[in-house]
């Protein structure tokens, strides 16, 4: 596992350099989920693939940018990754990230054994979730990631990231979000899952919601590459990740690019979600 995390550190440094120097223009292609790719999506995917395939303990990799996995003759872990999540935000100079789920024997929620994400912002930070959740920061002089602190979520927070197209929110979901704002929660939503969830984690709590909607009942965010890794991070940090009804890590992936409604946050907020959604199915 340490070998994979060391490879992800090298990937992060190379992707960070590419973000600063490469063209963010669009390419004439879409990824497996139908998202239009920017050149940096393709470059970041090539960087991640290079290092992960060269890692002896990696048996298989699958990228959000590709249809199917690449399988090696040897190795143990399966790595599902989103090499550059929210890449369209680079054009407006907002933070973006990379997400890695490290699985064993499959890609269901129960198969994830560790999760890592990287935030490319004013600083480059990496969060590694194994038994505990650890924050590292890139020292750009030495090109080394330095341990900063362990991350834990409080029982309740003060910030709220309400994703999904509001026009298509189910009425009970809209009422729940409105009630959080009436309680005084502050809106914190950039359109980048990685910085948005990183902020809630570092601020000690709150709620990020990307629900099912009338136009997208299964939500937008992908189980293997985005949802299961962040559900693992939040669970290990003392928080929760649910689909409105169940722990996200009890879910199975129907196919590699399967999506699910998802809510990540502290105990108080997630209990509100579960109360709201109970009986709505």
Residues near ligand P6P, by CB under 6 A? 85-86, 163, 191-193, 210, 220
Neighbours of 93 (CB within 10 A): 6
Active-site hit among 45, 60, 111, 226: 226
Active-site hit among 45, 49, 60, 64: 64
Q: Which CB atom, from 117 or from 185, has the smaller least distance to ligand P6P?
A: 117
The nearest distance, CB 253 to ligand P6P, in angstroms, is: 17
Q: Which CB atom, from 192 or from 265, has the smaller least distance to ligand P6P?
A: 192
The nearest distance, CB 14 to ligand P6P, in angstroms, is: 21
93 a catalytic residue: no
Active-site hit among 82, 111, 196, 243: 82
196 a catalytic residue: no
Q: Which CB atom, from 120 or from 210, has the smaller least distance to ligand P6P?
A: 210
Q: Which CB atom, from 35 or from 104, has the smaller least distance to ligand P6P?
A: 35
Q: Which CB atom, from 9 or from 220, has the smaller least distance to ligand P6P?
A: 220
85 a catalytic residue: yes
The nearest distance, CB 141 to ligand P6P, in angstroms, is: 30
Q: Which CB atom, from 85 or from 134, has the smaller least distance to ligand P6P?
A: 85
The nearest distance, CB 210 to ligand P6P, in angstroms, is: 6
Taking the C-alpha atoms of residue 41 and residue 240, their distance in angstroms, rounded to an integer, is: 29
What does the block give as tokens for 170?
């189910």
Active-site hit among 40, 45, 60, 84: 84
**Three-class HEC string of the chain:** CHHHHHHHHHHHHHHHHHHHHCCCCEEEEECCCCCEEEHHHHHHHHHHHHHHHCCCCEEEEEECCCCCCEECCCCCEEEEEEEEECHHHHHHCCCEEEEEEEEECCCCHHHEEEEEEEEECCCEEEEEECCCEEEEEEECCCCEEEEEEECCCCCCCCEEEECCCHHHCCHHHHHHHHHHHHCCCEECCCCCHHHHHHHHHHCCCEEEEECCCCCCCCCCCEHHHHHHHHHHHHHHCCCEEECCCCEHHHCCCCCCCCECCEEEECHHHHHHHHHHHCCCC
Active-site hit among 45, 49, 60, 65: 65
82 a catalytic residue: yes
The nearest distance, CB 237 to ligand P6P, in angstroms, is: 19
243 a catalytic residue: no
Give the nearest residue (CB) to ligand P6P.
193
- Using alpha carbons, select from 43, 64, 48, 54 the residue that is nearest to residue 9: 48
64 a catalytic residue: yes
Active-site hit among 85, 111, 125, 243: 85
Q: Which residues are catalytic?
A: 35, 41, 64-65, 82, 84-85, 226
């Amino acid at each position: 596992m340490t070998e994979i995390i060391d490879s992800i550190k090298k990937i992060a440094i190379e992707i960070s350099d590419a973000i600063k120097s490469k063209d963010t223009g669009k390419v004439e292609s879409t990824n497996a989920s139908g998202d239009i790719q920017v050149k940096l999506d393709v470059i970041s995917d090539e960087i991640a693939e290079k290092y992960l395939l060269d890692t002896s303990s990696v048996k298989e990799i699958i990228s959000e940018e590709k249809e199917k996995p690449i399988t090696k003759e040897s190795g143990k872990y399966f790595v599902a990754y989103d090499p550059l999540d929210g890449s369209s935000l680079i054009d407006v100079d907002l933070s973006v990230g990379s997400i890695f789920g490290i699985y064993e024997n499959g890609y269901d929620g129960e198969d994830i054994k560790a999760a890592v994400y990287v935030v490319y912002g004013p600083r480059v930070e990496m969060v590694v979730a194994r038994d505990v959740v650890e924050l590292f920061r890139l020292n750009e002089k030495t090109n080394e990631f330095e341990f900063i602190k362990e991350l834990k979520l409080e029982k309740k927070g003060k910030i709220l990231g309400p994703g999904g197209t509001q026009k298509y929110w189910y009425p009970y979901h809209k009422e729940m979000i409105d009630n959080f704002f009436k309680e005084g929660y502050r809106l914190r939503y950039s359109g980048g899952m990685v910085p948005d969830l990183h902020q809630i984690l570092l601020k000690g709590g709150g709620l990020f919601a990307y629900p099912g909607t009338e136009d997208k009942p299964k939500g937008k965010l992908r189980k293997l590459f985005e949802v299961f890794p962040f559900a693992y991070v939040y669970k290990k940090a003392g928080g929760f990740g649910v689909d409105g009804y169940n722990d996200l890590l009890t879910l199975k992936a129907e196919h590699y690019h399967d999506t699910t409604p998802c809510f990540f946050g502290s105990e108080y907020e997630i209990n509100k979600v579960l109360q709201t959604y109970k009986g709505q199915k």
